[in-house]
Structure 1
Amino acid sequence: MANLIPAFSTCAQRMTAGERRLAQRLEDKLEQDYLLWYDVPVRQKLLHPDFILLHPQRGLIVLEVKDWKLATIQQISRETVTLLTDAGEKSVDNPLAQAWHYTLAIKQ
């Protein structure tokens, strides 16, 4: 069982439904030598990736969780995603690009 920091019981209220499901699965399915951080500030930029996983031999991975439905995704590029919302179309950062930028900030 992976170690979630902060503990699931203290951060579950501020997680989205998708983040809660993923946190529970990661805690249950990963071996105990994994460290798993939720929504921690990274560097001076105070970036907040959804999850950072660290394993002593396997390395580091940054995960961004989106609770999007397939029907709401209008267009995807390398940098942005266009979503159909109640207020119309909205352009947001592509989660892969987000995770990459967070990884670069951690690496510095």
Structure 2
Amino acid sequence: SCWTFASTGTIEAHHCIAELLDCSRWTGLSEQQLVDCSGGHFGNHGCGGGWPSTAMEYVHYSGGIVTEESYQYTAKDGKCRAKKKMDRRNVGAKIRRVHNITAFDE
């Protein structure tokens, strides 16, 4: 599930640097939501592996990712508990657009 930590860490850093959130009082985003919910169409395999790029697409198309506090990490594959329409109070971050960047083109 290391790919989920890379994904949430990237989203968290962006939101903190851009001052979209008060990160001094923030618990972070749910890696477990990515483990449990971003398989299928997005091609990730929970604790068996996945890609940060498709995790970002999942967050974008699902309307956000919830906080770590509301969907805690269990270090094992589980059934997706994120609703199609997420409770806005639990959404920790959203992604408006997803862009893939060619290697060495950053």
Same fold (TM over 0.5): no
- Name the structure with the higher strand share: 1
Which structure's CA Rg is the greater one? 1
- Higher relative CO (Cα under 8 Å, sequence separation at least 6) belongs to 2
- Name the structure with the higher helix share: 2
